[in-house]
Amino acid sequence: MPLLEISDMAVSYGRIEALHGISLTVEEGELVTLLGANGAGKSTTMRAISGLLPLTRGHVFFDGEDITKVKAHLRVLSGIVQAPEGRGVFPGMTVQENLDMGCYARKFAKKSEYKERLGWVYELFPRLLERRSQIGGTMSGGEQQMLAIGRALMARPRVLLLDEPSMGLAPMIIQQIFRIISQINAEGTTVLLVEQNAQQALNRSDRAYILETGEVTRTGGGKELLADDSIQAAYLGVA
Protein backbone atom coordinates (compact mmCIF):
# COMPACT_ATOMS: atom_id res chain seq x y z
CA MET A 1 0.00 0.00 0.00
CA PRO A 2 1.49 3.39 -0.98
CA LEU A 3 2.16 5.92 1.76
CA LEU A 4 0.69 8.66 -0.46
CA GLU A 5 -1.72 8.08 -3.32
CA ILE A 6 -3.36 10.64 -5.59
CA SER A 7 -6.28 9.33 -7.65
CA ASP A 8 -7.86 11.23 -10.58
CA MET A 9 -7.13 14.60 -8.94
CA ALA A 10 -8.53 17.70 -10.64
CA VAL A 11 -8.08 21.25 -9.38
CA SER A 12 -9.55 24.43 -10.82
CA TYR A 13 -8.91 28.15 -10.46
CA GLY A 14 -12.36 29.54 -11.11
CA ARG A 15 -13.43 28.21 -14.50
CA ILE A 16 -9.91 27.20 -15.49
CA GLU A 17 -9.00 23.60 -14.72
CA ALA A 18 -5.30 23.46 -13.81
CA LEU A 19 -5.08 19.71 -13.14
CA HIS A 20 -7.04 17.33 -15.35
CA GLY A 21 -7.28 14.19 -13.26
CA ILE A 22 -3.73 13.21 -12.35
CA SER A 23 -2.82 10.03 -10.46
CA LEU A 24 0.44 9.19 -8.73
CA THR A 25 1.80 7.16 -5.84
CA VAL A 26 4.68 7.54 -3.39
CA GLU A 27 5.85 4.47 -1.52
CA GLU A 28 7.26 4.81 1.98
CA GLY A 29 10.99 5.55 1.81
CA GLU A 30 10.97 6.69 -1.82
CA LEU A 31 12.21 9.90 -3.37
CA VAL A 32 9.74 10.74 -6.15
CA THR A 33 10.05 13.73 -8.48
CA LEU A 34 7.41 15.75 -10.33
CA LEU A 35 9.08 17.29 -13.35
CA GLY A 36 7.61 19.77 -15.79
CA ALA A 37 7.84 23.21 -17.33
CA ASN A 38 6.42 26.36 -15.76
CA GLY A 39 2.64 26.16 -15.70
CA ALA A 40 2.54 22.37 -15.89
CA GLY A 41 0.71 22.12 -12.55
CA LYS A 42 3.51 20.98 -10.25
CA SER A 43 3.02 23.53 -7.47
CA THR A 44 -0.75 23.20 -7.76
CA THR A 45 -0.34 19.47 -7.16
CA MET A 46 1.72 20.10 -4.04
CA ARG A 47 -0.71 22.64 -2.63
CA ALA A 48 -3.60 20.27 -3.25
CA ILE A 49 -1.78 17.43 -1.47
CA SER A 50 -1.10 19.78 1.45
CA GLY A 51 -4.78 20.69 1.64
CA LEU A 52 -4.26 24.31 0.64
CA LEU A 53 -6.35 23.91 -2.53
CA PRO A 54 -9.69 22.08 -2.79
CA LEU A 55 -10.16 19.28 -5.31
CA THR A 56 -12.89 19.50 -7.92
CA ARG A 57 -12.54 15.76 -8.52
CA GLY A 58 -10.56 12.84 -7.21
CA HIS A 59 -9.06 11.71 -3.92
CA VAL A 60 -5.95 11.97 -1.76
CA PHE A 61 -5.05 8.92 0.33
CA PHE A 62 -2.41 8.92 3.05
CA ASP A 63 -1.35 5.71 4.75
CA GLY A 64 -4.51 4.06 3.41
CA GLU A 65 -6.94 6.73 4.64
CA ASP A 66 -8.93 9.08 2.42
CA ILE A 67 -7.88 12.59 3.52
CA THR A 68 -9.47 14.47 0.62
CA LYS A 69 -11.66 16.53 2.98
CA VAL A 70 -9.11 16.83 5.79
CA LYS A 71 -7.96 20.40 6.59
CA ALA A 72 -4.38 21.43 5.89
CA HIS A 73 -3.26 21.75 9.53
CA LEU A 74 -4.56 18.27 10.29
CA ARG A 75 -2.59 16.87 7.37
CA VAL A 76 0.53 18.32 9.00
CA LEU A 77 -0.38 16.50 12.21
CA SER A 78 -0.60 13.25 10.26
CA GLY A 79 2.86 13.84 8.79
CA ILE A 80 2.41 15.63 5.44
CA VAL A 81 4.76 18.62 5.66
CA GLN A 82 5.69 21.05 2.90
CA ALA A 83 8.67 23.34 2.34
CA PRO A 84 6.95 25.71 -0.08
CA GLU A 85 8.11 27.34 -3.27
CA GLY A 86 9.73 30.67 -2.42
CA ARG A 87 10.97 29.35 0.95
CA GLY A 88 8.50 31.35 3.05
CA VAL A 89 10.78 31.93 6.03
CA PHE A 90 9.56 34.32 8.72
CA PRO A 91 11.77 37.32 7.86
CA GLY A 92 11.62 39.01 11.26
CA MET A 93 12.43 35.88 13.27
CA THR A 94 15.81 34.37 14.01
CA VAL A 95 16.94 31.05 12.56
CA GLN A 96 16.18 29.36 15.89
CA GLU A 97 12.72 30.91 16.08
CA ASN A 98 11.97 29.85 12.50
CA LEU A 99 12.96 26.27 13.31
CA ASP A 100 10.81 26.31 16.43
CA MET A 101 7.81 27.34 14.31
CA GLY A 102 8.05 23.92 12.69
CA CYS A 103 7.34 22.30 16.05
CA TYR A 104 4.08 24.07 16.79
CA ALA A 105 1.94 21.92 14.53
CA ARG A 106 3.44 18.67 15.87
CA LYS A 107 4.64 19.28 19.41
CA PHE A 108 7.24 17.03 21.00
CA ALA A 109 6.18 14.90 23.95
CA LYS A 110 9.58 15.29 25.61
CA LYS A 111 12.17 18.04 25.59
CA SER A 112 14.85 15.44 24.92
CA GLU A 113 13.08 14.51 21.65
CA TYR A 114 13.04 18.17 20.62
CA LYS A 115 16.74 18.55 21.37
CA GLU A 116 17.57 15.40 19.42
CA ARG A 117 15.60 16.59 16.40
CA LEU A 118 17.07 20.08 16.53
CA GLY A 119 20.56 18.61 16.79
CA TRP A 120 19.91 16.49 13.70
CA VAL A 121 18.73 19.52 11.71
CA TYR A 122 21.79 21.51 12.76
CA GLU A 123 23.97 18.55 11.80
CA LEU A 124 22.37 18.54 8.32
CA PHE A 125 22.76 22.31 8.05
CA PRO A 126 25.83 23.49 9.98
CA ARG A 127 25.37 26.97 8.51
CA LEU A 128 22.10 27.28 10.42
CA LEU A 129 23.83 26.41 13.68
CA GLU A 130 26.46 29.07 12.99
CA ARG A 131 23.72 31.64 12.35
CA ARG A 132 21.02 30.50 14.76
CA SER A 133 20.66 34.04 16.15
CA GLN A 134 20.56 35.73 12.74
CA ILE A 135 17.30 37.21 11.45
CA GLY A 136 15.91 34.98 8.69
CA GLY A 137 15.18 37.82 6.30
CA THR A 138 18.84 38.89 6.23
CA MET A 139 20.13 35.49 5.06
CA SER A 140 21.13 34.58 1.51
CA GLY A 141 18.78 32.66 -0.76
CA GLY A 142 20.62 29.39 -0.20
CA GLU A 143 20.61 29.86 3.57
CA GLN A 144 16.88 30.63 3.52
CA GLN A 145 16.27 27.44 1.53
CA MET A 146 18.19 25.46 4.15
CA LEU A 147 16.10 27.14 6.82
CA ALA A 148 12.83 26.32 5.04
CA ILE A 149 13.79 22.65 4.76
CA GLY A 150 15.03 22.57 8.34
CA ARG A 151 11.79 24.10 9.61
CA ALA A 152 9.79 21.46 7.73
CA LEU A 153 11.97 18.70 9.21
CA MET A 154 11.27 19.99 12.72
CA ALA A 155 7.63 18.96 12.12
CA ARG A 156 8.85 15.33 11.73
CA PRO A 157 7.32 14.65 8.30
CA ARG A 158 6.40 11.17 7.20
CA VAL A 159 6.40 12.60 3.69
CA LEU A 160 8.30 15.80 2.97
CA LEU A 161 6.97 17.90 0.08
CA LEU A 162 9.74 20.02 -1.45
CA ASP A 163 8.61 22.62 -3.99
CA GLU A 164 11.40 23.95 -6.24
CA PRO A 165 14.21 23.86 -3.65
CA SER A 166 16.86 24.88 -6.21
CA MET A 167 15.02 27.91 -7.59
CA GLY A 168 17.22 30.99 -7.84
CA LEU A 169 20.29 29.39 -6.27
CA ALA A 170 23.90 29.29 -7.45
CA PRO A 171 25.10 25.96 -8.92
CA MET A 172 27.35 25.16 -5.95
CA ILE A 173 24.50 25.72 -3.49
CA ILE A 174 22.15 23.64 -5.66
CA GLN A 175 24.52 20.68 -5.43
CA GLN A 176 24.74 21.10 -1.67
CA ILE A 177 20.94 21.26 -1.29
CA PHE A 178 20.47 18.12 -3.39
CA ARG A 179 23.11 16.21 -1.43
CA ILE A 180 21.21 17.04 1.74
CA ILE A 181 17.89 15.99 0.18
CA SER A 182 19.45 12.63 -0.70
CA GLN A 183 20.75 12.30 2.85
CA ILE A 184 17.35 13.12 4.36
CA ASN A 185 15.78 10.45 2.17
CA ALA A 186 18.51 7.90 2.92
CA GLU A 187 17.92 8.44 6.65
CA GLY A 188 14.27 7.45 6.30
CA THR A 189 12.17 10.45 5.24
CA THR A 190 9.91 9.91 2.22
CA VAL A 191 10.27 12.81 -0.23
CA LEU A 192 8.03 14.15 -2.99
CA LEU A 193 10.05 16.69 -4.93
CA VAL A 194 8.92 19.31 -7.45
CA GLU A 195 11.88 20.48 -9.46
CA GLN A 196 12.91 21.96 -12.81
CA ASN A 197 16.54 20.89 -12.47
CA ALA A 198 16.04 17.58 -14.25
CA GLN A 199 19.64 16.45 -14.02
CA GLN A 200 19.88 16.73 -10.24
CA ALA A 201 16.35 15.53 -9.53
CA LEU A 202 16.14 12.51 -11.83
CA ASN A 203 19.62 11.32 -10.92
CA ARG A 204 18.47 10.96 -7.29
CA SER A 205 14.89 9.80 -7.78
CA ASP A 206 13.50 6.31 -7.37
CA ARG A 207 10.69 7.29 -9.72
CA ALA A 208 9.46 10.39 -11.52
CA TYR A 209 6.32 11.75 -13.12
CA ILE A 210 6.37 14.18 -16.04
CA LEU A 211 3.59 16.78 -15.93
CA GLU A 212 2.52 18.73 -19.00
CA THR A 213 -0.38 21.22 -18.89
CA GLY A 214 -2.03 19.56 -15.92
CA GLU A 215 -1.64 15.94 -17.01
CA VAL A 216 0.82 13.15 -16.26
CA THR A 217 2.35 12.25 -19.62
CA ARG A 218 5.24 9.98 -18.57
CA THR A 219 6.37 8.01 -15.54
CA GLY A 220 9.33 5.78 -14.86
CA GLY A 221 12.52 5.32 -12.90
CA GLY A 222 14.56 8.46 -12.38
CA LYS A 223 17.69 7.28 -14.18
CA GLU A 224 15.57 5.64 -16.87
CA LEU A 225 13.92 8.96 -17.71
CA LEU A 226 17.22 10.80 -17.43
CA ALA A 227 18.62 8.58 -20.20
CA ASP A 228 15.60 9.11 -22.47
CA ASP A 229 16.33 11.21 -25.56
CA SER A 230 12.99 13.02 -25.48
CA ILE A 231 13.43 13.98 -21.81
CA GLN A 232 16.97 15.19 -22.50
CA ALA A 233 15.72 17.32 -25.36
CA ALA A 234 12.83 18.80 -23.37
CA TYR A 235 14.49 19.36 -20.00
CA LEU A 236 18.26 19.23 -20.45
CA GLY A 237 18.63 21.13 -23.71
CA VAL A 238 20.24 18.17 -25.43
CA ALA A 239 19.46 18.14 -29.14
What is the pTM (predicted TM-score) of this model? 0.93
Q: How confident is the model at residue 80 (pLDDT cuts 50, 70, 90)?
A: very high
| Residue at 64 is within a domain | no
Domain with 107 in it: 28-53+71-235
* Packing angle, helices 171-186 and 111-124, rounded to 10: 140
What angle (nearest 5°) sits at the alpha carbon of residue 156, between those of residues 194 and 66? 70
pLDDT at 213: 94
For residue 171, being part of any structural domain is answered with yes
- What digits encode the pLDDT tens for the residues 103-161? 887 788 899 999 999 999 999 999 999 999 999 999 999 999 999 999 999 999 999 99
> What is the average per-residue pLDDT within 21-30?
97
Q: What single-letter amino acid sits at 61?
A: F
- Cα–Cα distance for residue pair 86/142, rounded to 1 Å: 11
- List the beta bridge partners of residue 17: 12
Coil/strand/helix, residue 13: strand
Report yes or no on 83 lying in a domain.
Answer: yes
d(CA 102, CA 150): 8
Residue 10 lies in a domain: no
Least confident of 1-15, 49-63, 119-133, 222-236: 222-236
Rg (CA), the chain: 17
Is 2 inside any structural domain? Answer: no
DSSP string, 14-49: TTEEEEEEEEEEE-TT-EEEEE--TTSSHHHHHHHH
For the chain, the maximum distance between any two Cα atoms, rounded to a whole number of angstroms, is 56
Q: What is the domain count for the chain?
A: 1
Strands 190-195 and 80-83: unpaired
pLDDT band, residue 237 (cuts 50/70/90) = low
67 three-class SS: coil
Residue 209 in this model has a pLDDT that exceeds 60? yes
Let me know if residue 4 belongs to a domain: no
Three-state SS at 146: helix
**Helices 171-186, 141-154: inter-axial angle, 10-degree rounding:** 10
pLDDT band for position 84 (50/70/90)? confident
User: Is the residue at 168 inside a domain?
Assistant: yes
- Compute the average pLDDT of residues 160-170: 91
Helix, strand, coil tally for the chain in percent (to 5): 40, 25, 35
Give burial (CB, 10 Å; 0-12/13-18/19+) of 58: middle
What CATH number should be reported for the domain holding residue 149?
3.40.50.300
Is there a domain that residue 209 lies in?
yes
